């Protein structure tokens, strides 16, 4: 998709909108508390907070309740993954009348004006269903982690714009992007109503790609809001931060998303798409700090489980109808 420049409208009132911020936690007590402290300037009568705890054993729910009385804590009781946990928060927020829901990683801190800037972009058009901010590494804080993204539905190759570049203002234009960033994404009530929530079967990784491709069928766009700033606690060392699970879910879920929402036709073309997606992840593995043998096993298992139509958490399979088969 070619990025399209947008001009934010100037007449909206943030006070007219009900927004819920959903922070998902799994054994990240100190990171979650730091994230919530950075959000304190944002809370008001129309901006509420929910922490969804995915079965933590580190005391996060009690710590949040003790420190932030205004933040609601929902305990899932088990690890439902990124998709399942966030969907709990989405459902509650929408049931309570949210116009927008912001999904925010717990290992982030935010600029006090970030939400207002995201809403400024989101309200340009009802076609804008997702908005993601400019995201930096926490250390060093001027190094970009996300300034938009490109993604090919033919090859499954995705590229984060600006990754590891110093911010010199080179990505300061509001524009459409090929996919939002699950680390921080504002989603509209209208999109959730017409498209649905995240796909629980994916569990983790590539979930925003599937959601975006599904939303695109309904005419929705994703946009980048450069004046909205978030800092993400990830390593800025050479080599992309990775775990073998990222390669497993990346291969399996990317193929599911593409072959469900971007059909390529013949069996031969599907085979080459599988080869392309696998090759993309192999290349990423070589450039990452992940253990290479474990990564190779994860990629092989991800491809195998995709072909078998088994989804859910890795090692706990959930059979689903295979998107490549009639």
Alpha-carbon distance of 12 to 74, in angstroms, equals 31
- Domain boundary (183, 206, 232) is at 232
* Range(s) of the domain holding residue 202: 14-232
Q: Are residues 250 and 221 in the same domain?
A: no
- The model's pTM: 0.91
pLDDT at 114 over 70: yes
Go through the chain and tell me how many residues it has.
326
Number of structural domains in the chain: 2
Domain boundary among the residues 205, 232, 259 is at 232
Nearest to 16 by CA among 46, 41, 42, 40: 46
What is the distance, to the nearest Å, from the Cα of residue 81 to the centroid of all Cα atoms in its chain? 12
CB-based contact 97:66 (threshold 8 Å): no
pLDDT at 228 over 80: yes
* Last residue of one domain, picked from the residues 232, 264, 292: 232
Do 30 and 53 reside in the same domain of the chain? Answer: yes
User: Does the pLDDT of residue 318 top 90, yes or no?
Assistant: no
pLDDT digits (tens, 9 = 90+) for 161-186: 999 999 999 999 999 999 999 999 99
| Residue 241 binned pLDDT confidence (cut-offs 50, 70, 90) | low
Confidence of residue 309 (pLDDT cuts 50, 70, 90): very high
Residues 55, 123 within the same domain:
yes
Q: Is residue 325 part of a domain?
A: no
116 with 63, same domain: the answer is yes
312 plus 211 within the same structural domain: no
Residue 89: CATH number of its domain: 3.90.550.60
What percent of the chain stands above pLDDT 70? 90
Q: Residue 14: CB partners within 8 Å, gap ≥ 6? A: 46, 115, 116, 119
Instruction: Give yes or no: residues 210 and 304 share one domain.
Output: no
178 vs 210: CA distance, rounded Å: 12
Asked whether residue 5 is domain-assigned, the answer is no
Does the structure show a pLDDT above 90 at 320? no
Tell me the pLDDT band of 219, cut-offs 50, 70 and 90: very high
- d(CA 167, CA 76) in angstroms, rounded, equals 38
Q: What is the pLDDT of residue 18?
A: 97
* pLDDT value of residue 288: 87
Q: Is the confidence at residue 302, as pLDDT, over 90? A: yes
Q: Phi-psi region for residue 27, left (φ > 0), alpha (ψ -120 to 50) or beta?
A: left
């Amino acid at each position: 998709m070619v990025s399209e420049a947008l001009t934010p409208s100037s007449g909206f009132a943030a006070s007219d909108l009900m927004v819920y911020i959903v922070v998902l936690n799994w054994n990240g007590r100190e990171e979650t508390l730091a994230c919530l402290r950075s959000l304190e300037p944002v809370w008001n009568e129309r901006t509420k907070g929910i922490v969804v705890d995915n079965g933590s054993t580190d005391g996060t729910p009690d710590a949040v309740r003790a420190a932030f009385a205004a933040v609601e804590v929902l305990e899932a009781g088990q690890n439902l993954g990124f998709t399942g946990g966030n969907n709990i928060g989405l459902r509650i927020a929408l049931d309570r009348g949210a116009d927008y829901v912001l999904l925010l990683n717990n290992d982030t801190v935010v600029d006090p004006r970030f939400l207002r800037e995201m809403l400024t972009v989101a309200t340009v058009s009802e076609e804008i269903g997702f908005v993601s901010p400019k995201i930096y590494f926490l250390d060093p804080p001027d190094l970009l982690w996300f300034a938009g993204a490109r993604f090919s539905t033919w090859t499954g190759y995705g590229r984060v714009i600006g990754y590891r570049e110093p911010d010199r203002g080179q990505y300061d234009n509001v524009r459409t992007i090929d996919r939002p960033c699950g680390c921080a994404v504002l989603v509209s009530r209208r999109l959730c109503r017409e498209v649905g929530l995240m796909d629980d079967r994916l569990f983790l990784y590539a979930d925003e790609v599937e959601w975006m491709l599904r939303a695109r069928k309904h005419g929705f766009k994703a946009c980048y809001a450069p004046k909205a700033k978030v800092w993400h606690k990830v390593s800025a060392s050479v080599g992309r931060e990775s775990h073998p699970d990222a390669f497993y879910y990346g291969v399996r879920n990317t193929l599911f998303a593409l072959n469900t929402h971007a059909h390529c036709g013949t069996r031969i073309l599907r085979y080459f798409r599988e080869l392309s997606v696998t090759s993309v992840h192999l290349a990423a593995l070589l450039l990452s700090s992940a253990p290479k043998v474990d990564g190779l096993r994860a990629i092989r298992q991800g491809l195998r489980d995709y072909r078998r139509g088994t989804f859910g958490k890795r090692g706990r399979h959930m059979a689903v109808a295979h998107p490549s088969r009639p």
